Chain A
Amino acid sequence: MSKTVIRLAAGLFLAALVVFTTAGATDNLMPGKVDLKSAGALAFGPDGILFIGDSVAGSVMAVDTNDRTPARGATKIDVQGIDVKIAALVGVAPDQIMINDVKVNPVSKNAWLSASRGRGADAAPLIVRVDAAGAVTILPLDNVRHSSVSLTDAPVANPAARQNPRMMTITDMSYVNGNLMVAGLSNEEWSSALRSIPYPFQNAKEGATLQIWHSSHGRYETESPVRTFVPYSIAGKQYILAAYTCTPLVKIAVSDLKPGAKVKGVTIADLGSGNQPLDMIPYRKDGHDYILVANSSLGVVKLRADSLETYPAIDSPTTVDVAGVPYDKIGALKNVQQMAQLDAGDALILTGKPGTGPAWNRGAPVGPISLETIALP
């Protein structure tokens, strides 16, 4: 009985907390035309707010999707040839549609995609919604409540120079504890900070920029851009699981992510050479913890993630960095380009035919592209 009361009280407290934190989440958004130059990485914030990474503009846009009707029961989304459908809506050939990211609105369970109409620099950004009925709609951007934050530093010193070629490609974003975390890769310098920007947006400079390092054998340290990451709780402590461009998977305690900090990730797995993790989904099934990882070359693997807290920090030269969280290859999932968690037991995957590159680097899968629901393995 008393347990129930405590649970109920805790539940009410949580509910109050949710109401408190989400009230006003859209208040700072102003209606008008959303001036997106490109649409890449996506993340959902509170109250149906969609964050859109605009690498070309060097900014992140928060838009009110108005997609706040909770899903009724289990959702299953299956759209074959989604590239063909999007292409038909916007009047181009399907090979001119590039789907850049897929995320699920945790409230409505609708899928939201970012895409480009065209493959050149003048490609138009598209924000696409797919509902459980398979209806594909494109968010009109001419009058939407929105706000943005710039990620770029001061303007280029020489304004007469032709268009600044420097660009940070936003590779992943996630909303963690009131902050939008943004990972990116520069097309010029190697070092790229992981940024943590408080939401509602004020000024990106007020957010923390973190130097993320990677250590191998406790001996060689490299400043390493984070390619993809996901919030994760290990033994009650909040972490992000991050994949570097140089393959290892690491855990970083969120409490370490302080402004200006030099943070070293603790390697939990090295998925091997010539590979780049693309998306990660942590989940729990039958009393065990797993992390599903989609990779550029290795395919989809399932890490057995029980007791991740027992993996020690690399702080001595004798520590080997191939900590080796065991993993299983999920051979049934092929040519997965994007992956997003739909609910506790299901995920959405975006798949196509193998790309046209050589076997070790096929490139992005080609059409027809399908968006489908799978049970988490």
Chain B
Amino acid sequence: MTVGVLALLLIASLSAGAPAISIQLEGGVFKVAGWNAPSSAPARGWESVFAVYTGPADAPPLLGTYTVERATLQFHPRFPFAAGMRYRAIFRSSAGGAPIEKIFDGPPAATVAEARIESVYPSAPVLPSNILRLYVYFSAPMSRGEAAAHLHILDSKGKVLEGIFLPGEELWDPAGRRLTMTFDPGRIKRGLTSNQAMGPPIAEGKLYTLVIDRAWRDARGVPMTEGLRKTFRGGPAIRMPPDPKTWRIAPPQAGASGGLTIAFPEPMNYALLQRMIEVRGPRGVVPGTVSIGHDEMEWRFNPRDRWEAGSYRVVVDTAIEDLAGNHIGQPFDIDVFEHVTEHIATQTISLPFAITR
């Protein structure tokens, strides 16, 4: 009976020439066309009349704001459209009747793999058994929260090493392109339960493979073009902090445009090399570009302008670290009995050199 009445009403309204109600999507705005919207919201809000859903049936509708323009009700979602999402817009007339529903698809989800691993540091083939950090550079922004599933270190038999990284910790740069992984410091720091029970994360003389799966999704949700396998051997632990007295500075000639290089006797932390060393000359900080080579045992500086004759100095932040987290004047774990090092309280040290004609 009710259905019959509704059908009759519908036929009556159609025959009266009223435009059919339809839902349209224009410029990111959902509109109810063909319905003469009142100027103010009904008691239960516009949401009771018109709402857009992306979730399951019992989930709340999308957040957004409503406007009425020329008697047309419009819904402006608060957040931009997401790739691969399906939008279900539903109009429920306050006059009753069956809801009008229309489906819209958001922009298509990306499917073409683009991201790859550009580089991994440290790059040396032998890494100290007390290695503290690993940097992975990706060519594109990546999805967070996937390192536990997709980054592993295998032993020489191909078995995944357990408990090697700080669990649950992914440190990213703001662009989402560089991941810093931290080896479990509890296994590196001497005297702790983890160190005594499990030993350092890497054993001297053993062969290992760093494996990063292709399945790691980029920020668009697409796996990489290829994974990475990098083999390295465990080396002796590094317990001595970096000592700038052992660094060799090779200054160029005056008038030259060539670079200045500093050679270290051991590999240094790649990220810190980028920003913890600078060159100061007669006119203050010398502008130029930094590049790192020779398995992070060489720091190269190319000045923007030609070198002038005069006194220069390389200024180094004492917080600069080697691969084991030792920094100038302070080892990662200080042995308070042996006093192997003097304590350096300054924040920077200076290495003078001269440019001669």
Q: How far is the CA of A84 from the CA of B58 in the complex (A)?
A: 10
Segment at the interface with B among A9-17, A103-111, A285-293, A361-369: A361-369
CB contact under 8 A between A270 and B171, given known A93-B84, A93-B85, A364-B145 = no
User: B233: CB under 8 A from chain A?
Assistant: no
Contacts of A217 in B (CB 8 A): 191
Q: Is the CB of B174 within 8 A of A221?
A: no
Flag whether A187 is at the interface (Cβ < 8 A): yes
Q: How far is the CA of A138 from the CA of B132 in the complex (A)?
A: 39
A317 contacts chain B at the CB level, 8 A cutoff: yes
Name the one of B79, B145, B187 contacting A117, with C-beta atoms under 8 angstroms: B79
Tell me the minimal C-beta distance from B251 to chain A in angstroms: 21
Closest to A355 in B: B148
Report the count of interface residues on B (CB-CB < 8 A). 82
Is A98 an interface residue, CB under 8 A from the partner?
yes
A85, B54: Cα distance in complex, Å: 10
Q: Does A66 contact B (CB under 8 A)?
A: no
B305 smallest CB distance to A (angstroms):
15
The interface centre, meaning the residue of B146, B163, B167 with most chain A CB atoms within 10 A of its CB, is B167
A297 touches B60 (CB 8 A): no
**Whole-angstrom distance from the CB of B148 to the nearest CB of chain A?**
3
Q: Check A246 for interface membership: any CB of B closer than 8 A.
A: yes
> Taking the nearest CB of chain B, how far is it from the CB of A100, in angstroms?
10
Binary contact readout A141-166 vs B (1 if CB under 8 angstroms, 0 otherwise) = 00000000000000011100001111
B 211-247 binary contact with A (CB < 8 Å = 1; else 0): 0000001111000000000000000000000000000
Query: Is A200 interfacial (CB 8 A cutoff)?
Result: no
- Determine if B60 and A187 form an interchain contact, defined as CB atoms under 8 angstroms apart: no
Partner of A355 from B149, B180, B184 at Cβ < 8 Å = B149
Q: Is the interface of B mostly helix, strand, loop or mixed?
A: loop
Known: A188-B272, A274-B162, A362-B148. A120 touches B189 (CB 8 A): no
Contact call A165/B145, Cβ cutoff below 8 A: no
Tell me the bound Cα distance from A362 to B147 in angstroms. Answer: 10
Contact between B81 and A91, CB atoms less than 8 A apart: yes
In the complex, residue of chain A having the shortest beta-carbon distance to the beta carbon of B198: A273
Q: Is there contact, CB below 8 Å, between A221 and B182?
A: no
A56 at the interface (CB under 8 A from B): yes
Q: How far is the CA of A96 from the CA of B198 in the complex (A)?
A: 36
Contact A358 B162 (CB under 8 A): yes
Residue of B nearest to A225 (CB): B185
Q: Is A85 within 8 A of B59, CB to CB?
A: yes
Q: Would you call B178 and A120 a contact (CB within 8 A)? A: no
Nearest CB of chain A from residue B195's CB, rounded to whole Å: 8
Contacts of B218 in A (CB 8 A): 120
Contact assessment for B185 and A245 in the assembled complex, using a CB-CB cutoff below 8 Å: yes
Does A89 count as interface, using CB distance less than 8 angstroms? Answer: yes
A253 at the interface (CB under 8 A from B): no
**Distance (Å) between the CB of A34 and the closest chain B CB?**
14
Query: Which of B3-11, B93-101, B292-300, B334-342 binds A?
Result: B334-342
Pairwise interchain contact B79-A124, C-beta atoms closer than 8 A: yes
Q: How far is the CB of A372 from chain B (nearest CB, A)?
A: 18
Residue numbers in A under 8 Å from B281 (CB-CB): none
Within 8 A of A (CB), among B309-339: 319, 321, 325, 327, 330, 332-337
Name B180's closest neighbour in chain A (CB-CB).
Answer: A187
B173 at the interface (CB under 8 A from A): yes
**CB-nearest residue of chain B relative to A295?**
B167
> Which chain A residues in 319-360 approach chain B with CB under 8 Å?
321-322, 355-360
Cα-based distance from A91 to B63 in the complex (angstroms): 8
What residues on B are CB-neighbors of A216 within 8 Å? 189-192, 333
Q: A-facing mask of B151-178, CB < 8 A → 1, else 0?
A: 0100000001011011111011111111
Contact B167–A166 (Cβ < 8 Å): no
B173: shortest Cβ distance to chain A, in Å?
Answer: 4
Q: Indicate whether A28 reaches chain B with its CB closer than 8 angstroms.
A: no
Q: In the assembly, what is the distance between CA of A274 and CA of B56, in Å?
A: 38
8 of the cross-chain contacts (CB-CB < 8 Å) are: A91-B77, A120-B219, A165-B178, A185-B169, A186-B171, A247-B186, A270-B193, A361-B167
